[in-house]
Structure 1
Amino acid sequence: MSTSEEYFIGIDVGTGSARAALVKENGTILASATQNTKTFRSPTSAVIFEQSTVNTWAAICTCTKKVLEMTGIKPESIGGIGFDATCSLAVTDLEGNPVSISQSEELGKFGERDIILWADHRAEEEANLINSTGSVVLDYVGGTMSLEMEIPKILWLKRHMPQELFAKCMFFDLPDYLTYKATGSLARSNCSLVCKCSFIPPGVANSKGWNSDFLAQIGLQDLVDEKFDRLGGTPGENGSMVLTAGQPVGHGLSKGSAADLGLVEGTPVGSAVIDAYAGWIGTVAARYKSGVDGSELSPPPSLSDSQHFLAAVAGTSTCHLIQSPNGIFVPGVWGPYMNALFPGWWMNEGGQSSTGQLIDFTITTHPAYPTLKERAQAENTSIHKILADTLEQMRVDAGVETLTELSKDLHMYPDLHGNRSPLADPRMRGSITGLALDSSLDDLALKFNITLEAIALQTKHIIDEMNSKGYDVQAIYMSGGQAANTSLMQLLSNVCNVPIILPHSHSAAVVVGSAMLGRFAAEVSERLGRQALKAQAEAESASYETRERLWSIMVEMTQPGTRIEPSATPKEARLLQAKYKIFRESIEIQRRWRKEIKDAAAGV
């Protein structure tokens, strides 16, 4: 292969694996490699999810070297590298060594388990305390802070770790840890700090960044006294910097990390983003195929158009992202987050804690699951194909037009792992109404179908709340594993009554989004004469001057997608509306029942 062309590497760290993709300037993936990562669970508590930065970095390095080997591309031809990762809390000592966050090891000492995964719900008590403060920081997370965010987790560590060990800890949202590991720079990303760490950008609501009163009120006065250094510091003071998406971090890859990755020292590294936000970057600038034969392409969208596009990044969980030039406050929906990706723009983030995970749970816990697996193996196909075929045969046998009619008397409420949006209530639990004394494969197929319905109905609930507060969602841009589920995609379009834009590759959008950050970092670095950003003021000025270029890179590197239009028949539309009404009523009923049980237990 010619080495005159420049290439970029995107690295995505998901819940269970790390992935690297080597990408051309037009967004074509030349090679991709994936490596599983470890998740440690507790044998006594279902709320514990822990990971390891050592294991994660090793997986990243394996993937990066593999894509170079697969393509024959020389390390010198890699123009830039970008990272995204789950919004998990990584903890190190002051020299960057891993610190155990696990009570199964020696908490606060050197240890492999140094990441509290996003799904870890140990900090419920701490989140409750935070949410009782009435602090202004709560206004910027939809009114209620999730126990999945970083400050509740840090507070949990403060309460459980010996104080002398806690005082030696640095705290990173995982995307920022990866750029620190890659470059040695402590510069943080605005995406991580604003979205997950209770940082309100200076100038918003008279904020200076970190809220001293809030941190002191909840018991983190020591972080205030240290001028927030172990959280990343105050931008513009003592060399601390907060960067917007893709801005070059430090001097690029350090010598040691370059050797680990098989790349060249000094290769530009873009300021990282949370994985769902990389999905937004990798999808919302997509054109889509149109015309009778699909040969025509829609016009390229503008940055202004993006305020009408909801990006749904759907894997184990689902995140719903949309940005606006104005801060829109939506109760139960995180944000608005200023500068989360583009300077001067505000992002809101809705979410479902369990979607892909919920689908798997529905299937694998049903008594007919062994039968399903046996049939799939015998027919050399997937279990989802068997379920789809079973549902279609049931529909024909029942003499109905749609699957919605087939499951019209069966209803699911999907919050088995609590509600992230728009209720922001981790105590919500799932339910099924309409159960029959049936353990057959047909029954499993019906429950699979209502699981998809429930995911779609909850998406509508989130969109309705966003639209009621000022958004105008006109299309949903999908990415992640669930985008391959054509039945769910059509159902989403029918339930939400908006088109769905499917990416060129459902699994690649996130990692290509990170590669875009690598390209942007390379271009900005070149513009700076390959010099590091030296001060916060310089970084902010460069961010505004180059934001349209980041959007142009997104347009250039996003492969055309496919558009799915709403297609519900009048009868199906009526049934889906009735199911949505029942869905909303089930929330009210569960909360009322919860209060009645609480009152009874208290003798009220």
Structure 2
Amino acid sequence: MLIAAVDVGSARARAGVFTLDGQLVARTSRGFATLTMGGGQAGFAFAEIWQATADALAEARAMAGAPPEAIRALAFDATCSLVVDAPGFAPDVIAWHDHRAVAEAAALSAIPHQVVARAGGAVSPEMQTPKLIWLKRHRPDVWASLRGIRDLGDHLAFRATGIASRAHCAAAAKWPWLPDQGGWASDLLAELDIADFPHSEPVLPTGAAIGPLSAQGAAELGLTRDCIVAAGLIDAFAGALGAAPDMPALIAGTSNCVMARDLPVAPALWGPYPGAILPDEAVTEGGQSATGALLEWVRLQYPQPQSHDQITQRIAAMTVEPGAGLQILPDFKGNRAPFADPLMRGVIHGQSLDRGQDAMDALYWRSAVGIALGTRQVIDHMGLAPTRLAMAGGQARTALLRQLYADATGAEIHWQPEDAVLRGTAIAAAAPLAGGVRAARDRFARPAVVTLPDAQGRARRARDWAVFLRMQQQRDEILNMTKD
């Protein structure tokens, strides 16, 4: 008996096949395109995401040597992108990082409501409520013809089963849904004039069985109808579930998210969200936007094609850190915490016109340093002083970056080598067969690789930290000088 997990990120769908005791048997991925428009708009085509999902699952199953009937459970995690199921709306997935609803987010933030408070008092345009308002205001024709409007992970499960449902994780973290206060915030929906969007589906906790694959879903995914689909999570929350337990978690992927339990409502922090990962636990998120995306942008500027692994291996082999004189504030897609400003922009100090490999390696490394310092600032803003920090996501695969985060934060970095995001989603998939999500998590636990802070690295990052804070002050001063 095997289970499958699918993680849909910002550019790829990744599929993993696991045994019921948590052994990763096979993993593969397929890419899909991001469609960019003006005005901060970006989207995806759901059909392309679904095809990438099916292809990745088929290849992973082939790598595992597993016949279709061997896969008995499946779950999805995804970015908090918004699927708009309505005729004439294309692309039909609004990307999580789409910022078309900046004005709507600002107006919503002025309303005294618990939904706003749990969004840190300044609702991000990356959340679903501002996007709903935008759609109602700017595309009333689409709004009137909505067949459904869901988080991407929920729509993947709907396409697989034909059963409409919502994951508790996404509903609590990204929608106007308060699980500890009766569910949908009907008063806020009425005030915003968006109460008429389709939202009657049941909201299911992580790992609850949605139902078996439909005949169509089974055929398209190359599986059988005996496969049960379980409620999944947002990708960062899946990473927190799959990472080393009993400590705050840093999910360092396209964006960076620090996840911690038992924190109160506070400015620029998202949460606490009761039950968003595990029942009877509330999780709070402090985040940075487009961190891994910044490293990807730098990678694409190299004159010759490079992989992230090639770049980090070269940097790790250097006897002297590259980029002396380069200083970077990484807020190129706005700032979530501590400033909650989607219009904030990054700063590069000391950049030359050189695009040779050495110069680009320096830019890559110093971008990574700026991101790690931003993570330290998020942790400080959350009031945490962790001695241990679980790490997951694409950046965690690289020993160089794990050491950087250890030195920047002063915490031990605990990393489970097998993909924590896929592992968290596999835990959700296994829950109906393993006696619940907690029992499944226990089965899937793996020893962690521990990276300790280095004294010399700590000293270098302390100098960088002082510069980082001074640059933020200077950025504020310049903005004040240039205000109309």
> What is the TM-score normalised by the length of structure 1?
0.75
Return the match for 1:561 from 448, 453, 456.
448
- Structure 1 residues 156, 21: closer, same or farther in 2, change over 3 A? same
- Structure 1 residues 217, 388: closer, same or farther in 2, change over 3 A? same
For 1:387 and 1:60, locate their aligned partners in 2 and report how far apart those are by CA, in whole Å: 34
Partner of 1:118: 96
For 1:144 and 1:29, locate their aligned partners in 2 and report how far apart those are by CA, in whole Å: 40
Q: Conserved in 1, the CA contact under 8 Å of 2:312 and 2:400? A: no
Q: What CA deviation, in whole Å up to 9, does each residue of 1:26-53 have, x standing for no partner?
A: 32222223121222122xx262211122
Q: What CA deviation, in whole Å up to 9, does each residue of 1:210-240 have, x standing for no partner?
A: 22332233332xx2xx4x6x1x33xxxxxx4
For 1:439 and 1:65, locate their aligned partners in 2 and report how far apart those are by CA, in whole Å: 40
For 1:131 and 1:342, locate their aligned partners in 2 and report how far apart those are by CA, in whole Å: 28
Counterpart residue identity of residue 338, structure 1: P
For 2:330 and 2:128, locate their aligned partners in 1 and report how far apart those are by CA, in whole Å: 25
Return the match for 1:512 from 415, 420, 423.
423
- Structure 1 residues 573, 517: closer, same or farther in 2, change over 3 A? closer
Secondary structure at 2:150 match in 1: strand
Partner of 1:248: 209
TM-fit CA distance, 1:63: 2.2
Partner of 1:216: 190
TM-fit CA distance, 1:75: 2.7
TM-fit CA distance, 1:438: 5.7
Partner of 2:266: 330
TM-fit CA distance, 1:387: 4.1
- Structure 1 residues 114, 437: closer, same or farther in 2, change over 3 A? closer
For 1:446 and 1:258, locate their aligned partners in 2 and report how far apart those are by CA, in whole Å: 48
Return the match for 1:11 from 6, 11, 27.
6
- Structure 1 residues 187, 145: closer, same or farther in 2, change over 3 A? same
For 1:413 and 1:49, locate their aligned partners in 2 and report how far apart those are by CA, in whole Å: 24
For structure 2, the 5+ residue unaligned runs are: none
Partner of 1:535: none
For 1:575 and 1:66, locate their aligned partners in 2 and report how far apart those are by CA, in whole Å: 44
For structure 1, the 5+ residue unaligned runs are: 1-5, 93-98, 100-108, 234-239, 286-305, 396-402, 525-545
Q: Conserved in 2, the CA contact under 8 Å of 1:15 and 1:86? A: yes
Q: Conserved in 1, the CA contact under 8 Å of 2:337 and 2:381? A: no
Residues 193-232 of structure 1 aligned to structure 2 (within 5 Å): 193-201=171-179, 203=180, 207-220=181-194, 223=195, 226=196, 230=198, 232=199
Q: Does 1:488 align with 2:466?
A: no
Partner of 2:314: 386
- Structure 1 residues 31, 435: closer, same or farther in 2, change over 3 A? closer
Q: Conserved in 2, the CA contact under 8 Å of 1:516 and 1:557? A: yes
Partner of 2:164: 186
Partner of 1:541: none
For 2:90 and 2:59, locate their aligned partners in 1 and report how far apart those are by CA, in whole Å: 25
- Structure 1 residues 358, 77: closer, same or farther in 2, change over 3 A? same
Q: Conserved in 1, the CA contact under 8 Å of 2:88 and 2:142? A: no
Partner of 1:588: 473
Secondary structure at 2:442 match in 1: helix
Counterpart residue identity of residue 470, structure 2: E
Q: Conserved in 1, the CA contact under 8 Å of 2:74 and 2:429? A: yes
Greater strand proportion:
2
Q: Conserved in 2, the CA contact under 8 Å of 1:268 and 1:522? A: no
TM-fit CA distance, 1:501: 1.1
Residues 366-515 of structure 1 aligned to structure 2 (within 5 Å): 369-370=302-303, 373=304, 382-389=310-317, 391-392=318-319, 395=320, 403=321, 409-435=325-351, 441-467=357-383, 471-505=384-418, 508-515=419-426
TM-fit CA distance, 1:450: 1.8
- Structure 1 residues 169, 160: closer, same or farther in 2, change over 3 A? farther
Return the match for 2:278 from 336, 342, 357.
342
Q: Which has the larger radius of gyration?
A: 1
For 1:360 and 1:115, locate their aligned partners in 2 and report how far apart those are by CA, in whole Å: 22
Q: Conserved in 2, the CA contact under 8 Å of 1:26 and 1:558? A: no
Counterpart residue identity of residue 18, structure 1: A
For 1:193 and 1:136, locate their aligned partners in 2 and report how far apart those are by CA, in whole Å: 14
Q: What CA deviation, in whole Å up to 9, does each residue of 1:75-111 have, x standing for no partner?
A: 333221111111100011xxxxxx3xxxxxxxxx345
- Structure 1 residues 496, 387: closer, same or farther in 2, change over 3 A? closer
Q: Does 1:173 align with 2:151?
A: yes
Which range moved further: 309-318 or 273-282?
A: 309-318
For 1:523 and 1:25, locate their aligned partners in 2 and report how far apart those are by CA, in whole Å: 8
For 2:117 and 2:190, locate their aligned partners in 1 and report how far apart those are by CA, in whole Å: 18
Q: What CA deviation, in whole Å up to 9, does each residue of 1:101-135 have, x standing for no partner?
A: xxxxxxxx345521001011111111111112232
The alignment's C-alpha RMSD in Å is 2.4
Counterpart residue identity of residue 252, structure 2: A
Secondary structure at 1:269 match in 2: strand
- Structure 1 residues 385, 267: closer, same or farther in 2, change over 3 A? closer
> What is the TM-score normalised by the length of structure 2?
0.92
Secondary structure at 1:172 match in 2: strand
Q: Does 1:315 align with 2:253?
A: yes
Counterpart residue identity of residue 484, structure 1: R
TM-fit CA distance, 1:60: 1.6
State the number of aligned residues: 483
